[in-house]
Amino acid sequence: MSTFRTFRAPDARSGLAMVKAALGSDAVILSTREVFNGLFRAKEIEVTAALPDAPQQTKSLAAQAYVPSGSRVATPVVGSSDVQRAISLATDSPRPSSPRPSAPPLPAAPVTSREEQLSDELIRLRGAMDDMRREMRHVTGQVRIERDYRLPPVGAELLTHLINRGVEEALAEESVRQAVEASPNHSPATLLASLRDALGERVVSGRPPWLPDARRRVIAMVGPTGVGKTTTLAKIAARALMESKLKVVLVTIDTYRIGASEQVIRYGEIMAVPTYVARDRIELTRAIERSANADLVLIDTAGRSVSEAVARQAEMLRSIEGIQLYLTVSACTGPREMAAAAERYRALQPERLVVTKVDEAVGPGSLLSASVRIGRPIVAVTDGQRVPEDIHALSGPELVELVIGSFRQMRADSSVKVGGE
């Protein structure tokens, strides 16, 4: 025998399958026995097999095969008839077994090349079907938009693209119509340039809060729950300290969320700046008064998603002279949700806008809803959790590009051909 192998399996059929997979159909079964694995594990079948040096040895070796008394073996799958008869034999008393190291069970028989080819072909067919469905939805949507909105084909493509980028449908239609009116020849390049101009009138950038100013500023970060106000506050504070060398003070009035005030205190300790916790208007007033020597006072607030709670928070903040409200919204928010949030906070009349989580947004165009409804400049956008690296001040054209996306992406999303791209 040139090759001896021992296999363990839960039953005889599995053991024979292992033998065939490892040694082939010419393998000879030398012995089989039941293995007791303790009280809490099922018995196993141990099969010892070999690959003969010559075919004529198969019969004599198969005759020595051994199966313990009482075991029931399913129809074997190993090649020769002599081996099949040998493994079906049973004796009255099992042969004493000598201790031997247990061999780990081998994996199931490998997939044949034919099966792999069929599997790959099935995956390719499914991918092709998915592509066809997407193309059908795209074409159907284009036909509907051209019919319902009475737009030229390129205008319909741009409208579809803006909607896919997260822009509210009404705002997208208004912007595209304005671009179509300004571009009589309806060429893709001219229409896209007109669209940039139309969006540029709606999206305005502002001076970032971490830059020096002639007077002290007190800024309260307000906005819905979960948009990242606390992390954004820390990023602004770090940029003001590191780049502008400003004196910064942190204040939190978020005593509702568990651990919220501790998070701001921790940021204050790391940056070595004074930090205060204010539970009401009186404590907030005192904290601001103590910060008279600071260049920048940043106030963290609790998230509010109900109009009444927003109004109460605004009343407290606006009761203290000199506080500016920076509305913080997430680019991950869908266009309808973004529009609803902007409507809730419009009554506060926030001075500036901050857009967070741009990196997590499928289409950051929803920021257009907040910009239009609030009518205030966007002073910063964030695109990650790192403090302070992941906060940026974008110009107006850069904000427009954030809404529209790149030429290459537009071609992939809506098939608009621009210039020689």
pLDDT for 239: 94
Query: Can you give the length of the chain in residues?
Result: 421
In 3D, which of 326, 375, 331 has the Cα closest to residue 351?
326
What separation in angstroms does the CA of 412 have from each of 168, 344, 360? 21, 36, 20
Tell me the two tokens of residue 211: 């830059």
**Which of 396, 328, 327 shows the shortest CA–CA distance to 358?**
328
Q: How many angstroms separate the CA atoms of 30 and 201, rounded?
A: 86
Domains with residue ranges and CATH for the chain: 3-87 (no CATH), 113-200 (no CATH), 217-393 (3.40.50.300)
Residue 135: pLDDT above 70?
no
Give residue-wise pLDDT tens across range 318-351: 888 889 999 999 988 888 888 888 888 887 889 9
pTM of the entire predicted model:
0.61
Q: The sheet that has 391-392: what strands, in order across it?
A: 275-277, 248-252, 296-300, 217-222, 323-330, 352-356, 378-382, 391-392
Tokens of 51: 């690959």
What beta strand segments (E) does 197-294 contain? Answer: 217-222, 248-252, 275-277
205: pLDDT confidence band, cut at 50, 70 and 90? very high
Locate the DSSP E strands across 117-253.
Answer: 217-222, 248-252
CA distance 235 to 220: 14
Record the tokens describing residue 42, joined without a space. 């099922």
The single-letter code of the amino acid at 340 is A
Give me 107's structure tokens: 């994996």
Residue 78 structure tokens: 């190993």
155 alpha-carbon distance from chain centroid? 31
Over residues 149-195, the pLDDT tens digits come to 667 778 888 888 888 888 888 888 888 888 888 877 777 888 888 88
How far, in Å, CA of 192 to CA of 176, rounded?
A: 9
**Backbone torsions φ then ψ of 356, nearest 5 degrees:** -110, 170
Q: Which of 286, 283, 287 is nearest to 297 (CA)?
A: 287
Q: pLDDT digit string (tens) for 15-50?
A: 888 888 888 877 888 788 887 665 556 778 888 888
